[in-house]
Structure 1
Amino acid sequence: MGLFQLCFADDLLLLCHADVSSVTIFCRGLEMFATLSGLTANPQKSHLIISKAAQANREALFRALEFEEGHLPLRETTVYCAMEFILPKGIIKEVENRLSSFLWKGTSNRGYPKAFMSKHLLDVIRGKQDSIWVDWISQNRLRDQTVWIASEKTGSWSWRKLLKLHAVLLLHIQYRIGDGENFSLWKDPWHNLGPLIACFPCGPHITRTYAHDPLTMVIEDDQWSWPLIIDIEHLDILNLLPAIHGGVDSIVWVPDGGHFSSSSAYNIFRPLGPKVGWSSLLVGAFRIPRYCFILWLAILGKLYTLDKPWLAHLGNECVLCLDGQQEMHEHLFFTCSYSRRCVASIRQKVRFPWPYQDWQRGILWASVNWRGTHVVRSAYRALLASLTYHIWQEHNRRRFQDIDRPSSTIGSLAVEEVRQRIVSVKLGPSVSTRGLYRLWRIPWPVEGDAD
């Protein structure tokens, strides 16, 4: 019949040959769709559009379909996604984030497609009754097979990708055996060994059963009732049998308390790393992205300091203090005499309770004491990132441009940029906000100027 579909924002176009037999098959498809989904075509909103070349069959086609006559003015068709209108900033930001994730492929986002597709694969495994797609997959893709033994080398690209997820899903689902009616004896992984047909290809012949038999063939009165197995290689089937729970067979999603969700599936596919306490130092209302990026590298010890083996040919003396000390993260932040003077310069302008400890212990102290959403703590985190950024920038200026600035300039830059960031953020007139403005020596806006 050559039927295909086109989807628009709020319309669906279904096209077929302009003959009575094709339209009759089309009507049967609509009736089948209504039976499965409960959705019927509204005759008042559905129209039959006939091309000029098929006007001879016009009356017969209308009698077969019983839709009103319609027209398709392509010259006036508007493209929904191409309409120009003003978008809120929040929507623009969300679109930019999604496009950035698509273009640069962040490793933390790679699990999203697999998490969403695993839901469809789990529906196929469970044999979801009210899904047209699951019925189509069972009849046209799997036929007499199951997901667990289906070939991953045939079918479309998307189907092959979908099948590759079953190895991961198998580790997080549990076949709970009831009466055995819904499980395949040889093709489902209800056994601890997995699908038995994969481990014992001759199993149906040895046990005098059929490959398509249900599991209930070897269950009697909620007890195992296997035929006599005399082949030694097949005795493992009887030695590793799981328990029978009775009732109806079920497939349980083990994570998240047995209830499937996209978030629990995402946690399976995404690359997990250890939780770190210093992540709170990189967030907050006053964060400046490029400063937080340098702070993140400094915490991880990934800045290109001279203690790296591939930079050994440049020497190892700190370019900031020139005291003969080895240049490394622990020295630059804030054991170096130059960086200490930068901290002292900041403390002349605002109260900055940074402990004079080694770098990692200082980060641990700050991650505990500056945690939370309080505006004063958020300002401290932003100031730490700003100071780290400007010290590293000064390091690069001296190393590559032979230009140096006094520590008082670095302290002033770090404080002033955070101060400007605080002013740019709209804060409510609370006690915490007043305390922040007083701490940073920012004049409190008079009534009418805050807007």
Structure 2
Amino acid sequence: MDLADALREEEIYWKQRCREEWLRSGDLNTKFFHNVVKGKRIQNRLLMLLDEAGQEHFAEGSKGNIAVNYFRELFRSSNPFDLETLFTGFPKRVSDDMNAVLTAAITEEEIKKAAFSVKGSSAPGEDGLTGVFYQKFWHIVGAQLTSEILVFFHSAVMPDGWNHTQLSLLPKIPKPTKMQDLRPISLCSVQYKIISKILSNRLKSILPEIISDTQGAFVEGRLISDNIIIAHEMVHGLRTNPRVAEECMAIKTDMSKAYDRVEWNFLEVLMEKMGFDRIWVRWIMSCVSSVSFSVLLNGNSHGYIRPERGIRQGDPLSPFLFILCAEALVSRLNTAEETGLLHGIKLSPFGPSVHHLLFADDSLLLCNATSTEAAEICACLKDYEEASGQCINLQKSSVIFGSKVSEERKLEIKRALGIHQEGGEGSYLGLPECFSGSKVNLLSFIKEKLQGRLNGWFAKALSQGGKEILIKSVALALPIYAMSCFKLPKDLCAKLTSAIVEFWWSSGSNRKKISWVSWQKMCKDKEHGGLGFKEVEKFNQALLAKQAWRIWSRPNSLVSRILQGRYFPRSSFLEANVGTRPSYAWRSILHGRELLAQGLLKKIGNGESVKVWTDNWIIDDVPRPPHYHPDAEVDLTLTVRDLIDDQSSAWNIPMVRQLFCEEDVSRVLNVKVNVDSVDTLEWGFSKNGVYNTKSGYKLAVVLQEKQVFPPSPALPPLERKLWRDLWKSKTTPKIKHFMWRALSGALAVKQGLKSRGITLDTTCLRCGSAEESICHVLFHCEVAKEAWERSQIPLPPGGFSRSSVWLNFFHLLSVSKRHSSEGSIRLSFPWVLWHIWKARNIFCYEKIHLDGATVLSRAMEEASTWFNLQLLPSESSHLSSLTRWQKPPVGTLKCNIASSWPDSSHNHGSSWIVRDSTGLPLFHSRRAFAPVFTEIEAGLATFEWSLKAAHDLKVKKISLEISSPILWEALSIPDRFPNLGFEISKSLRLMHDFDQCQLSLVPSVVNIIAEDIAVSVTRDHRYQSYIATGGPSWLSSMINLQAAG
């Protein structure tokens, strides 16, 4: 175990130092982590700094003094005195109800939740303690920390030292030499972050109601893509709309050191004007004004700074405070428009006028192209700057003129603004402002970024398991930003795919490698023989369908109103045409709509608006109308309401059987009807009826497969089982990928090389007795045979197959599940395979022969080390109390609820068990329900049944525990499940009928008793429903164990 401990500690150390967030799992990638740390040290090291006079300084002390003096000056207040000019007519926005939410008493549970939401591996404060320290030792430090935090919320006085912050300087450019080239990131203490998180979580809940819809940053429900699409439409209008091109302009401004310049008295007055309660204002101002800094330079701390202004990058609260500050500018611009001094751009008579778009510190101001309105823009910005401390960087700002604005007027306006740079061909929020040229060239930066990330020297140290994570978490994530707004050209998609494929098969050298498996197969799910990668074109369309869904489902959002006014003023979004002179963003959204439309399903309420034969209201591979029975008469005016019995408000079963073909009768009868609600249109492939990119991508794959002729045969169940078992096998990701390559025929054996046109002798070099195939190398070569015979792993009765790798793997995976032989032996087969292959390569390239005994010894040693590592506590493991069942307080009963819903059969088993404050089971119940089509439907039916049972048992005070995250989300945030509103509301009403009711989401291990009872219905086919006193006898030992704590 000493070696296992050392290996785990070494990996954790270097992983913490490199802080690569994307690498969630893999092998012991210590070499990779070490390389990244070295690279970041080189990249971030500041060798020389220029002072204000341009003098070079190399000594650490001199550089530290330059940095400290720079920040002292930056954080010195400009002492604004005239705030009333900016706040004239500023509306109160925070209601009494909102203030009640913001200033409600802080609870211990809220503090604990905030503490556990702090990212465990994020950089620590000056005390060196990370979030994971507090989370792991909460049972020791939690009570004291909670007490001190509660004192802060009673007094609004920050404890000494909690708000001292080190400023870490990150380079904005390669090889920075000036302080302006460095970005300060505040390393706040975890204690402060907990307070900041509590305040942030409360503030976030009201932001959508108090922040203008022209601000797109940090507000729930708003995305950066909205701002990009609106800006793109505006710039497109400046080029193509005759009136806009002649009369309008856009001004893109850049705020210099925006966070660092926020004046504290401005922030305080702003919050008071908005209507925030004085208690809330005191909390916020204490967080902001109690800060002190020292500067971290090349690992050394320098100086002590007491700032007079500024909010910190790295403080969870800062982004939300900044957008509150920006509301002062929004109000000033709105006042100018209301008084006729500014006129925004209106792309059509039906759409809204827009005179500004803000995303954090990026501003796009829109107005008429006149010197008068330019002067008014300057006046608005000047009032905002003088009050808030903000400073416009004129050198980085630009003006985009309408295409028909004269040169003379352009010069006049640029002089009035003090901005001399023209835009239109640049970027906004990182994407092209306008697509006027080659789209491949305009978006080529995506390929360059991807190539740079994949070709980085650090990536060469990755195992195949690490490469898989890198491709999924980084390579396919890099283009998401652009793909969410624009359709990428086919050529660019092909180049991105090519870069990923080349990286996957490369081994760090510059030599071109063989692509042993097609990209199309690698994009299949793992249980279908692929690796679960995504095809770029389909992924792009799925992301654009998400944008189409947002426009359709949020018609009152600013981006939806602009697009509706421009492209579909008299029709619905789903019926909109491409229009005249459309923007590229609109064409891209319509591309996404093609996919969206094929997945929309009519959700049956009363059935009055759904046409039986023409609307898509049942789901097969895709939503469709039912197929009619050969003997049925088809009436095209027939509605679903006509199929519902008036007396029972349920399906008229004889009529359903008469009208529809046999295979669709069950589909129709499984559709729930609710005559008290109206019919709705929803996404047919998600649990809550809301579109998500994952299900959209799956539909895109299904639609393509349906177009292929002849259709691809379905994978045999045994083959799917083999792939599933392979990926579930207990071994390292590297070896899992090796086994995948072996089963996919993707190992570079001579037989495989010859099949790809390479001329060579295919005889096995080691034994010379047979052709070198994958099956021969791994199972029948002399070294392999000796290793397997010595391994004590049960071999097939007739020996390993000589021709089928599949049969041999099937045997090994089956043996690994048996409990008749020792676990360490039967589970070690992946390492045996891996070391047999390594021995073959050592012989081929180094001419060193290893016998079977040596190979087996190395395999077993490595397997033993890995299994010992799995027994150690993980870096992120939390308290054991979080994974133990907790007794309820005296006077309260606890009810654990679970449902079992296998996707393959749609059968539905449910259970609950009620226990008292001693852990003694009072009652339990099990029930088999009729099949349902989604997990959330099963969960809601189980939950409602359990609550009714608790009411029947006269329970007054109850603590409910469930382990289904999707059910928890539905009950906590019903708005996310509009298609299940009626079912959710019934359960919520039942919860309110108790004198006291608390609902908790717990891990499965805590809810294991209820889960086992529920699973017994679907797994063991125990369909008899019952309610009984006590607990089930077959689970008595586990119940007693939980009661004992």
- TM-score surpassing 0.5? yes
Alignment of 1:81-92 (within 5 A): none
Whether the aligned pair in 2 keeps the contact of 1:284 and 1:378 (CA below 8 Å) is no
> Cα 1:425–1:285, aligned 2, differ >3 Å: closer, same or farther?
same
**1:286, CA displacement in angstroms?**
4.0
Q: Tell me what 2:3 maps to.
A: none
Q: Aligned match of 1:402 in 847, 857, 879?
A: 847
Whether the aligned pair in 1 keeps the contact of 2:784 and 2:836 (CA below 8 Å) is yes
Q: Aligned match of 1:391 in 825, 831, 836?
A: 836
Q: Which amino acid aligns with 2:861?
A: E
Q: Aligned match of 1:122 in 546, 549, 557?
A: 549
Q: Tell me what 2:81 maps to.
A: none
Pair 1:305-2:731 in alignment: no
Q: Aligned match of 1:260 in 690, 695, 698?
A: 690
Cα separation, 1, equivalents of 2:539 and 2:825:
34
Alignment of 1:358-377 (within 5 A): 358=801, 359-370=805-816
Q: Aligned match of 2:561 in 132, 135, 141?
A: 135
> Cα 1:331–1:244, aligned 2, differ >3 Å: closer, same or farther?
same
Q: Aligned match of 1:166 in 584, 593, 597?
A: 593
Pair 1:72-2:390 in alignment: yes
Q: Tell me what 2:800 maps to.
A: 357
For residues 356-415 of structure 1, the C-alpha deviation after alignment (integer angstroms, 9 at most, x for no partner) is 32232221233344359xxx869855x333222222233233334433222222112211
Alignment of 1:229-240 (within 5 A): none
Alignment of 1:183-262 (within 5 A): 241=636, 243-245=638-640, 250-256=680-686, 259-262=689-692
Q: Which amino acid aligns with 1:138?
A: Q
> Cα 1:245–1:415, aligned 2, differ >3 Å: closer, same or farther?
same
**1:298, CA displacement in angstroms?**
0.6
| Number of residue-to-residue matches in the alignment | 328
> Cα 1:339–1:113, aligned 2, differ >3 Å: closer, same or farther?
same
> Cα 1:118–1:405, aligned 2, differ >3 Å: closer, same or farther?
same
For residues 323-343 of structure 1, the C-alpha deviation after alignment (integer angstroms, 9 at most, x for no partner) is 2x2222222231333211022
Cα separation, 2, equivalents of 1:377 and 1:28:
76
Secondary structure at the counterpart of residue 808 of structure 2: helix
Alignment of 1:16-95 (within 5 A): 21-22=336-337, 24=339, 69-72=387-390
Q: Aligned match of 1:150 in 568, 577, 585?
A: 577
Secondary structure at the counterpart of residue 251 of structure 1: strand
Q: Tell me what 2:910 maps to.
A: none
> Cα 1:172–1:386, aligned 2, differ >3 Å: closer, same or farther?
same
> Cα 1:123–1:278, aligned 2, differ >3 Å: closer, same or farther?
closer
> Cα 1:312–1:154, aligned 2, differ >3 Å: closer, same or farther?
same
Cα separation, 2, equivalents of 1:154 and 1:378:
68
Whether the aligned pair in 1 keeps the contact of 2:609 and 2:639 (CA below 8 Å) is no
> Cα 1:23–1:408, aligned 2, differ >3 Å: closer, same or farther?
farther
- Whichever structure has more strand as a proportion of its residues is 2
**1:307, CA displacement in angstroms?**
2.5
> Cα 1:130–1:19, aligned 2, differ >3 Å: closer, same or farther?
closer
Which moves more between the two structures, 7-16 or 409-418? 7-16
Which moves more between the two structures, 261-270 or 300-309? 261-270
Q: Which amino acid aligns with 1:302?
A: A
Q: Tell me what 1:46 maps to.
A: none
Secondary structure at the counterpart of residue 314 of structure 1: coil
Q: Tell me what 1:88 maps to.
A: none
Q: Aligned match of 2:477 in 89, 93, 102?
A: 102
Secondary structure at the counterpart of residue 339 of structure 1: helix
RMSD: 5.3
Q: Tell me what 1:205 maps to.
A: none
**1:300, CA displacement in angstroms?**
1.4
Secondary structure at the counterpart of residue 307 of structure 1: helix
Secondary structure at the counterpart of residue 293 of structure 1: helix
Q: Tell me what 1:186 maps to.
A: none
Cα separation, 2, equivalents of 1:394 and 1:94:
27
- Name which one, 1 or 2, has greater alpha-carbon Rg: 1
Q: Tell me what 2:660 maps to.
A: none
Q: Tell me what 1:335 maps to.
A: 780
> Cα 1:182–1:70, aligned 2, differ >3 Å: closer, same or farther?
farther
Q: Which amino acid aligns with 1:140?
A: R
> Cα 1:19–1:404, aligned 2, differ >3 Å: closer, same or farther?
closer
> Cα 1:288–1:135, aligned 2, differ >3 Å: closer, same or farther?
closer
| Structure with the larger RCO, 1 or 2 (CA within 8 Å, 6+ apart) | 1
Q: Which amino acid aligns with 2:749?
A: T
Q: Which amino acid aligns with 1:294?
A: F
Secondary structure at the counterpart of residue 296 of structure 1: helix
TM-score relative to the length of structure 2: 0.26
Cα separation, 2, equivalents of 1:190 and 1:144:
27
